[in-house]
């Protein structure tokens, strides 16, 4: 299966079906599973022993035997239940460990899979829907194991033991338990088949509700700015109502749970059968007491299975949704055996065509070459494909046609990690983590020293504002750097790029949110940093366009001109129009 990144895990899971996926995780913990089964069987067997001992005590009292036998019987009941309690502790402890380990393993596996998906995949997936699967669906798999499977295994033993114990009391007494078990299995099968699609709908509707919530919270500033709170509340309420309705449908199915009726009928039928045999003189009073005690053991599976089966159905539905993500193949792979060398910085586009959606290309037959160490400005109107072009260099996306070469090697033939680790991209929309400033700067170089981090910050003209915070480099910034200004976020991103010292540097309008005075200082830093490395500039700053070694002009996804600034002013009408449009605000500012 294609994947940009594969976690180095010591286990493999079967991802062919949800059932095999669940079983492969269960099989990783065989000892815990065995302890669960032993605990469940011993619980049922020792519970079954209680009515047997009580029946013996009844016969002793009726027959006027010595009280010593009754005392011994009472001690036997107490001893069996103490042993049962100890084994139950082992069982419940094992089942909880089992459930928590499976939740941890599945969440790790899903998270690693998400990191390995291409941007094409993530572009089409709502973040809230993904979060619902990573958190809630994985949690449902935990609850599926405990209490779900724990109760099912336990209740299965409570079905089995009376079926074995009843004929031991008197063989014909097996009739009512056998009929009950047969009808119980049929009823449970029907219950599961009806409940399963509802459980799927519950999980899907919850994911949709979560996606709407995450999207609204992420765009809360837009919602408030447009005064659309009431509309968003109404839209979210509709999603919440849908979740409620599916849960109500699940409750309606559970309310008609047939085993409740079967259990009551089994008690009546068992009593009638036992009394009939008693009237025939086939069994005694103690045997009736012991037998009815076995019948009452059916109460535990009846009353617990509705909850446990519902939990298993939800967990199975969650496993299916998790597998839908894990098994989704993407068009990129990490290519571990690919080309792995230090990059010199030569870049070539050969007849490249690319579109985010099939049949709707953004770039058309793009061709150009960049020599190592060159600074190249890519200019064009909004929507011309400038940012898209740069994302093909480090294989954020793969071309639909043509080739992108780095140092003469198709980027698809490079080891993906080796390629990306040597290319640094600073975009206009800067993403910062909710961590310290130092951690954000050092994100691409985890072993960076404080001195290296500070040096990178100084080069990016960020040191001064960083030290203005009370905790300096240890200041924790808000999510996505919301506590910083746009210019501060961009300077931290530039510092991050300086620290990694990449052979290829891409600046995607990275100084757009910086004032003129700061830009002058950063431009000098960029000029210094660009020496000896290939630099791609997407910018509308005339000062940066002028000092580029080479300029590529894009128009509607096509290269319409390329060359130096002076040459393009003479030869390209498209460049002159772009240049004139960029020059107007500078002229106005200068004359103001």
What's the pLDDT score for residue 230? Answer: 85
How buried is 9 (Cβ within 10 angstroms: 0-12 exposed, 13-18 middle, 19+ buried)? exposed
pLDDT tier, 517 (very low <50, low <70, confident <90, very high otherwise): low
User: In what order do the strands lie in the sheet containing 423-426?
Assistant: 423-426, 504-508, 534-538, 375-380, 550-555, 558-563
Per-residue pLDDT, averaged over 532-541, amounts to 83
For 381, the 3-state DSSP assignment is coil
pLDDT > 50? residue 227: yes
CB 562, CB 542: distance < 8 Å: no
In sequence order, which residues have a C-beta less than 8 Å from that of residue 77 and are 6 or more positions away? 49, 50, 53, 54
pLDDT tier, 199 (very low <50, low <70, confident <90, very high otherwise): confident
265 versus 489: which is more confidently predicted?
265
In sequence order, which residues have a C-beta less than 8 Å from that of residue 311 and are 6 or more positions away? 140, 143, 144, 147, 148
What's the pLDDT score for residue 181? Answer: 94
CA distance 54 to 315: 40
What does the pLDDT look like over 321-349, one tens digit per residue? 899 888 887 767 778 888 999 999 999 99
What's the pLDDT score for residue 479? Answer: 66
CA distance 216 to 240: 14
Per-residue pLDDT, averaged over 79-89, amounts to 91
CA distance 216 to 213: 5
pLDDT > 80? residue 151: yes
Per-residue pLDDT, averaged over 215-223, amounts to 77
pLDDT tier, 93 (very low <50, low <70, confident <90, very high otherwise): confident
What's the pLDDT score for residue 8? Answer: 54
What does the pLDDT look like over 154-190, one tens digit per residue? 888 999 999 999 999 999 999 999 999 999 999 988 9
From the list 95, 81, 465, 62, the residue with the least C-alpha distance to 287 is 62
What's the pLDDT score for residue 289? Answer: 92
From the list 305, 73, 288, 21, the residue with the least C-alpha distance to 188 is 305
pLDDT > 60? residue 440: yes
Provide the angle, in degrees to the nearest 10, between the axes of the packed helices 450-459 and 486-500.
120
What's the pLDDT score for residue 592? Answer: 33
CA distance 274 to 284: 9
Q: Do the domains 432-500 and 336-422+502-592 match in fold?
A: yes
- What is the CATH number assigned to the segment(s) 18-326? 1.20.1560.10
What's the pLDDT score for residue 407? Answer: 94
pLDDT tier, 585 (very low <50, low <70, confident <90, very high otherwise): very low
In sequence order, which residues have a C-beta less than 8 Å from that of residue 65 and are 6 or more positions away? none
Across-strand partners of 379?
553
Which fold is adopted by the domain 336-422+502-592? Rossmann fold (3.40.50)
What's the pLDDT score for residue 197? Answer: 87
**pLDDT, averaged across the chain:** 85
What's the pLDDT score for residue 589? Answer: 37
Virtual torsion, Cα 493, 498, 500, 501, nearest 10 deg? 150
**DSSP per residue, 307-334:** HHHHHHHHHHHHHHHHHHHHT---S---
What's the pLDDT score for residue 526? Answer: 67
pLDDT > 60? residue 588: no
pLDDT > 60? residue 376: yes
Among 245-254, 277-286, 364-373, 508-517, whose mean pLDDT is lowest? 508-517
- Which span out of 141-145, 219-223, 229-233 was modeled with the highest average pLDDT? 141-145
- For 584, the token pair is 């107007």
| Alpha-carbon distances, residue 285 vs 95, 270, 556 (angstroms) | 39, 14, 94
CA distance 32 to 26: 9
Residues in the chain: 592
User: In what order do the strands lie in the sheet containing 409-410?
Assistant: 363-370, 347-354, 401-406, 409-410
What's the pLDDT score for residue 353? Answer: 95
pLDDT > 80? residue 261: yes
What does the pLDDT look like over 3-29, one tens digit per residue? 666 655 556 788 889 999 989 888 888
What's the pLDDT score for residue 520? Answer: 67
Which fold is adopted by the domain 432-500? Rossmann fold (3.40.50)
353 versus 573: which is more confidently predicted?
353
What's the pLDDT score for residue 296? Answer: 93
Among 100-104, 178-182, 582-586, whose mean pLDDT is lowest? 582-586
pLDDT tier, 528 (very low <50, low <70, confident <90, very high otherwise): low
CB 556, CB 380: distance < 8 Å: no
Strands 558-563 and 409-410: unpaired
CA distance 18 to 14: 9
Residue extents of the structural domains in the chain: 18-326, 336-422+502-592, 432-500
What's the pLDDT score for residue 512? Answer: 58
pLDDT > 60? residue 586: no
Q: Residue with structure tokens 């891409």?
A: 506
Q: Residue with structure tokens 């586009």?
A: 349
What's the pLDDT score for residue 445? Answer: 82
pLDDT > 80? residue 66: no
What does the pLDDT look like over 243-258, one tens digit per residue? 899 889 888 888 888 8
pLDDT tier, 518 (very low <50, low <70, confident <90, very high otherwise): low
From the list 140, 107, 173, 488, the residue with the least C-alpha distance to 315 is 140
């Amino acid at each position: 299966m294609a994947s940009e990144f594969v976690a180095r895990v010591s286990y493999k899971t079967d991802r062919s079906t949800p059932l095999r996926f669940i079983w492969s995780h269960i099989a990783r913990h065989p000892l815990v599973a065995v302890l669960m089964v032993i605990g469940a069987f011993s619980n049922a067997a020792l519970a079954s022993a209680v009515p047997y001992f009580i029946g013996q005590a009844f016969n002793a009292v009726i027959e006027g035997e010595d009280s010593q036998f009754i005392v011994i019987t009472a001690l036997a009941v107490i001893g069996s239940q103490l042993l049962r309690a100890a084994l139950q502790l082992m069982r419940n402890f094992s089942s909880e460990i089992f459930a928590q380990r499976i939740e941890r393993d599945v969440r790790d596996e899903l998270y690693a899979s998400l990191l390995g998906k291409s941007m094409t995949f993530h572009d089409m997936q709502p973040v809230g829907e993904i979060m619902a699967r990573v958190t809630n669906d994985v949690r449902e798999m935990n609850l599926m194991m405990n209490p779900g499977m724990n109760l099912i295994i336990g209740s299965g033993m409570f079905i089995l033991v009376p079926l074995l114990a009843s004929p031991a009391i008197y063989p014909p007494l097996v009739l009512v338990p056998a009929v009950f078990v047969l009808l119980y299995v049929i009823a449970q099968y029907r219950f599961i088949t009806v409940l399963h699609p509802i459980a799927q709908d519950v999980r899907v509707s919850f994911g949709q509700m979560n996606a709407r919530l995450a999207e609204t919270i992420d765009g809360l500033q837009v919602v408030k700015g447009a005064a659309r709170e009431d509309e968003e509340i109404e839209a979210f309420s509709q999603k919440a109502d849908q979740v409620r309705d599916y849960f109500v449908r699940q409750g309606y199915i559970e309310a008609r749970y047939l085993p409740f009726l079967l259990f009551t009928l089994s008690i009546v039928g068992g009593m009638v059968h036992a009394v009939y045999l008693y009237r025939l003189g086939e069994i005694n009073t103690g045997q009736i007491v012991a037998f009815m005690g076995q019948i009452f053991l059916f109460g535990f599976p009846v009353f617990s299975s509705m909850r446990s089966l519902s939990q298993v159905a939800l967990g199975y539905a969650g496993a299916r949704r998790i597998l839908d993500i894990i098994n989704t193949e993407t068009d990129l792979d990490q290519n571990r055996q690919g080309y792995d060398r230090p990059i010199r910085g030569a870049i070539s586009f050969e007849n490249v065509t690319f579109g985010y959606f099939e049949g709707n290309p953004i770039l058309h037959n793009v061709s150009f070459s960049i020599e190592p160490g060159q600074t190249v400005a890519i200019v064009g109107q909004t929507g011309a494909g400038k940012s898209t072009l740069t994302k093909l260099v480090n294989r954020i996306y793969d071309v639909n046609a043509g080739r992108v070469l780095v140092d003469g090697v198709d980027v698809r033939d490079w080891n993906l990690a080796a390629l990306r680790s040597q290319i640094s991209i600073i975009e206009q929309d800067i993403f910062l983590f909710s961590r310290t400033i130092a951690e954000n700067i050092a994100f691409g170089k985890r072993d960076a020293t404080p001195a290296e981090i500070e040096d990178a910050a100084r080069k990016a003209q960020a040191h001064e504002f960083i030290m203005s915070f009370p905790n300096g480099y240890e200041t924790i910034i808000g999510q996505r750097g919301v506590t910083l200004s746009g210019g501060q976020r961009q300077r931290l991103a530039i510092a991050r790029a300086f620290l990694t010292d990449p052979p290829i540097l891409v600046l995607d309008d990275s100084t757009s949110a910086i004032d003129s005075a700061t830009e002058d200082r950063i431009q000098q830093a960029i000029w210094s940093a660009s020496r000896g490395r290939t630099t791609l500039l997407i910018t509308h700053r005339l000062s940066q366009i002028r000092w580029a070694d080479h300029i590529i002009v894009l128009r509607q996804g096509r290269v319409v001109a390329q060359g130096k600034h002076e040459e393009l002013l003479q030869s390209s009408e498209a460049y002159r129009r772009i240049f004139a449009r960029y020059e107007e605000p500078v002229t106005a500012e200068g004359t103001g």
